[in-house]
Structure 1
């Protein structure tokens, strides 16, 4: 009897609404009756009634057996680890929600007879050895039995068994409760165990010193997929905040500033030695001083000027006998002039400090070149 619709086998198909007893082949004491699996439907239960009639015509009460046809394989999923993901020790131990306990986990379901067993294999890809339940020593794939509480399965795998920088492939398969067990297509996840901190690099930043109240930093990690945290002018851990490259700052005050940035790789490892850059914002103009020059007046057609700045590392620009900005030209101390014409001359010099601030009030000296000899006094008497 097919229990889904209560129809009986008539010898060729399930079409009879009333019970039909078909004659079996009997070779004392065994009997057989042909029933091809093709006549049965997946997921349906059936009840077999068998009865014997003796030579006197007595008919026994029918014994019964109910069975279910199950040709569907169970389905397995891997919840943790996630495929193509990296993990450090903490991430590994917390993966299945059991803090500080390393395990892998997932689900298994079967719409027919139900899941009977879940098995897992773990391959270390650096040498293609498989986990044998205690270590990675087997050259052949080994499926170990997981703990199954419908629909969840777990299998213990301590982080101590994994090697830094090595990838692994996990396969999980379920078998159902059918007598000839259906084995599902294994679920697969490949992951990498990574306990090494990334290395953070500042690729560009402001000059030191700088005369700008803005600054922009670009930075990178030696591990792709890293995220970043930045902080400015602090040594406190709590002042690190999520950031991305480039990172701009504005409205900076005059004085020294320090920028720190650290990367966290996809496995959750954070650079313990953040990249750092210190620079000074200098908004103050230098003061230029002429320390020596020609006497005024001077009988010489040559002149030499010496000058200095109150800020070390300054550069200088000089001009002679002009009020035009474009006539300032790079110069250094001492600055000589020759072939000067008779008359008044004006020398200007201005300093630019290392931050790029230029003295807006150049130092200046005016003198007169007088090369005409005085007339001899005339005497009469």
Structure 2
């Protein structure tokens, strides 16, 4: 648009001396040209304003900001003035053309930018640019960015951290552009990110455990730096210390028993979050739950027979864990007791002091014994006379039962005790009857000689030496065989007896009963064979 600025000979009093001088020179030039008969120069032109930074510039026809609008240029025409010379007749008049002078002023500071100066002006007064428009020209308003960027939402904001962690922050600036964000841990520069989203990775293992300040600082293109955003975290890359201070470690226990462990957990950096316990069959994965005694002990009772693993787990507030384990065993199987020597079951003996030896299927077992008349109710078991042996004495004739049972090291007792029943016989046997009878006559030549005893006899002790038959007038025993059936011995001569001869039969004290008792006295009798 055309803008005529009225600058006549009576120029405003407020114009500076510099502007007045420029106008005076212009008038002289015009006058010279008129005298010489030439035309004055056309001084109109367009003024273009540029804004470097964020701000505004205003002047006649100018309303300009950093976005280049709404109106950043204006055309200004020459100023024309009619002049007449009244000293001549008729008066001589001419038209004076002057270049316009324009003032453009910087607006108030805003958006963190402050006035820095003008370039391209003929003169600058304060925040105002003065321009004599003798031709088209441009001027630039410079505004300096003095506002700090802003950093927010620094992560992590707190808590316990370990391993590789992500650092992140939001950053903004009044200029609309952040040149970089620096991340520091404990004052040490970790990483710089030049584009949003601003982030970095940090290996916490590269520093020692403990409290650590994380700091993020933003910078803009003008070199302004933000106040740092900070957070404090705890770095913990060390698992908690954990030790089992007491309790079973490889031992074996009996049924119905209780096992108790004590333990201690600590974490110097982040503290203990939880302590959990597990007791499972050996070889199974742990199944953790609350420890029965809180963070210091755990007990289990009445586990069935088997092998078990106790495990305690401590977890710190950084998520690191430590575990410790111990094995133990439950033995619910009783030992087997075996009598290895001594009077056999059913044996008869004439000994009044008896000894049995015995053993257990489990090493380390102890034994209890009892011996009692077989016809009576068994008494309670008591300690045996020795380790793996028992001796009893003072027996009278009768039938007795001896029992022994083993108890293993964890208290399991053999419920099927080893047992032997024996008969003590201290009475000497006798001959209760014989055939043929003593002094009997007319005995058949084919007759056998028998002796019936008061009790069963040992067959091995009845033979041609202990039971014999001698014909009168001879010294040699008749050839015969001897047999025993129960308590009756039979002497069977090899040939018929001699008719009319007299024979003497004898059973010596070499004959013994089943207990080994000898006859109380030899038995002799005679008989005569019929003619």
TM range (shorter): 0.5 to 0.7
Separation of aligned partners in 2, 1:33 and 1:294: 125
Q: Of the candidates 192, 196, 201, which is equivalent to residue 330 of structure 2?
A: 192
| Partner in structure 1 of residue 250 of structure 2 | 83
CA contact (8 A) 1:110 1:176 kept: no
Tell me by how many angstroms 1:213 deviates: 2.8
Match of 2:452 in 1: 308
Partner of 1:74, secondary structure, is strand
Shift of 1:363: 0.8
Match of 1:284 among 419, 422, 427: 427
Alignment partner of 2:469 out of 320, 327, 341:
320
2:343 is aligned with 1:206 = yes
Segments of structure 1 that go 5 or more residues without pairing to the other structure are: 1-19, 97-104, 131-139, 372-381
Structure with the higher strand share, 1 or 2: 2
CA distance in 1, matches of 2:331, 2:530: 87
Q: Is the 8 A contact 2:243 2:264 kept in 1?
A: yes
CA apart distance, 1:52: 11
153, 157, 170: which is aligned to 2:309? 170
User: Which of 102, 107, 130 is matched with 2:263 structurally?
Assistant: 107
**Residue from 276, 280, 288 that aligns with 1:119:** 276
Partner in structure 1 of residue 182 of structure 2: none
- Partner Cα distance (1:295, 1:192) in 2: 75
Deviation at 1:172, TM superposition (A): 0.7
Count of aligned residue pairs for this structure pair: 312
* CA separation of 1:51 and 1:336: change in aligned 2, threshold 3 A: closer
Deviation string, structure 1 residues 230-257 (Cα, Å, up to 9, x no partner):
12339443x5115777524153422333
Offset from partner CA, 1:164-199 (integer Å, 9 cap, x none):
5x5253341322536242323x414253363x6666
Higher relative contact order (CA 8 A, sep 6+): 1
Q: Check the 8 A contact 2:267/2:316 in 1, yes or no.
A: no
Q: With structure 1 as the length reference, what TM-score do the two structures score?
A: 0.58
CA distance in structure 2 between the aligned counterparts of 1:247 and 1:323, rounded to whole angstroms: 51
- Structure 2 CA distance for partners of 1:39 and 1:323, relative to 1, 3 Å: farther
Secondary structure of residue in 1 paired with 2:349: coil
Cα distance change on mapping 1:179 and 1:122 into 2, 3 Å: same
Cα-Cα RMSD: 5.2
Alignment match, 1:37? 205
- Cα displacement string for residues 98-121 of structure 1 (whole angstroms, at most 9, x for unaligned residues): xxxxxxx34245585676533233
Picking from 397, 401, 405, the partner of 1:255 is 397
Change (3 A) 1:193 1:368: closer
Of residues 159, 174, 179, the one that matches 2:318 is 179
- Residues of 2 paired with 1:295 and 1:171: CA distance? 88
Report what 1:349 is aligned to.
507
Between structure 1 and structure 2, the one with the greater Rg is: 2
Are 1:359 and 2:519 matched, yes or no? yes
Tell me if 1:335 matches 2:491.
yes
Structure 2 residue matching 1:228: 3-state secondary structure: strand
Gaps of 5+ in 2: 1-185, 218-222
| Distance in 1 of aligned mates of 2:528 and 2:518 | 28
Report the Cα offset of residue 85 of structure 1: 2.2
C-alpha change, 1:272 and 1:231, in structure 2 (3 Å) is same
In structure 2, relative to structure 1, the CA distance for the partners of 1:291 and 1:106 (3 Å cut) is: same
Could you report, residue by residue, the CA deviation over 1:41-72 in whole angstroms, capped at 9, with x for unpaired residues? xxxx767689999x99xx99xx9999777356
